[in-house]
Structure 1
Amino acid sequence: MQRKYNYIYSQLVKEDADLIGHIAYSLYKKQKIEYIQKQQTSGKDLTDEELVPFNDFSSSESSIDSYKIKAEIIIQGFIENVLDETFDDMEKQAVSRQSEILKTIVDPLKPSYLKDLGIGVLSAFIFALLVIVLAFYIQNKDTSFNITVETPKTVTAPAK
């Protein structure tokens, strides 16, 4: 007796690159295996003739459409996951890169500890000097200072 084949593969897969068709066919195969296993757990080994109703049902237009829709949903979920992961990776890279750029910009602008200490000591010295000058001025503002400049006397040597 010649085997009767189900040509559902050609109904689901239109070309080698038809990813949706290949996934739909794997969904069909999964459903067929589950059906056969369920029959076997009942103690029934199916013959090719007993698989005809399953093959007829799975080859119907509504079943073909159902396999394709489920395949599209699987692919859509896969693409969404890949895009989410790619977006997360890109976001992490952008934040990391932004942090690096900001660090290279800000680091030269941040004064060092020793430089701050030197500036503080210098400003304290200048402030103390100004306070001393101001105190000296206030204390001696009524005192007048006479500065006399003497011209040096020239000594002439006796003529010989």
Structure 2
Amino acid sequence: MNEFQDKNKYAYDLLVHEHGDLVGYVAYGFYKKSKREWLMSSHRSDEERAKYYEMLTPQLVETYRSDAEHVLEEYAKAAIEAAKPSIESRAKDARVVQIINRKSGFWSQVWAGFTASVIVLFVTAMIAFALKNDIMSFIK
């Protein structure tokens, strides 16, 4: 590994604490952006360019990580807000299914069957009564 790679690894290791450290990855991106802007802002000597990493103080590391946390929090809030209507809709749909399932349970089916039987019995009795009266009036 050459000296340039060692210096980049130094900055990366300061900003990214472990594999999967999303805050560290974003903080490292901020570091690289800042470094690029610094290099582009004026002509720098090779010696100045080589020592850029020395400007990475513990306070600056904390600033990059804090800025990264803020950006990620704002992104998460925006993502949650964008997904909120879909989540609410799915929750309502799930609640409706839950209510339907509860209402179509065993005892509700027994009750529905009993109610239907009483209605059929009543209608049959009315038809029988009507037919009996028609037959009686025909006989007389």
Q: Give the TM-score category using the shorter length.
A: 0.5 to 0.7
User: CA deviation digits over 1:23-46, x for unaligned, max 9?
Assistant: 00000000000111111xxxx2x3
| Deviation (angstroms), 1:93 | 5.1
**What amino acid is aligned across from residue 31 of structure 2 in structure 1?**
Y
Are 1:24 and 2:21 matched, yes or no? Answer: no
What residue is the counterpart of 1:64 in the other structure? Answer: 61
What residue is the counterpart of 2:53 in the other structure? Answer: 55
Matched residues, number = 93
Instruction: Decide whether the 8 Å contact of 1:23 with 1:71 is kept in 2.
Output: yes
Structure with bigger helix share is: 2
Instruction: Decide whether the 8 Å contact of 1:3 with 1:48 is kept in 2.
Output: no
Counterparts of 1:94 and 1:24, CA distance in 2: 36
Counterparts of 2:91 and 2:17, CA distance in 1: 42
What residue is the counterpart of 1:78 in the other structure? Answer: 75
**Considering only aligned residues, what root-mean-square deviation do their CA atoms show, in Å?**
2.6
Q: Can you give the 5+ residue segments of structure 1 that lack an aligned partner in the other structure?
A: 102-160
3-state SS in 1 of match to 2:68? helix
Are 1:87 and 2:90 matched, yes or no? Answer: no
Counterparts of 2:46 and 2:26, CA distance in 1: 24
| Deviation (angstroms), 1:94 | 5.8
Counterparts of 1:69 and 1:21, CA distance in 2: 10
| Deviation (angstroms), 1:89 | 2.1
Structure number, greater radius of gyration: 1
| Deviation (angstroms), 1:47 | 3.6
What residue is the counterpart of 2:13 in the other structure? Answer: 10
Counterparts of 1:79 and 1:93, CA distance in 2: 20
3-state SS in 1 of match to 2:47? coil
**Scaled by the length of structure 2, what TM-score is found?**
0.56
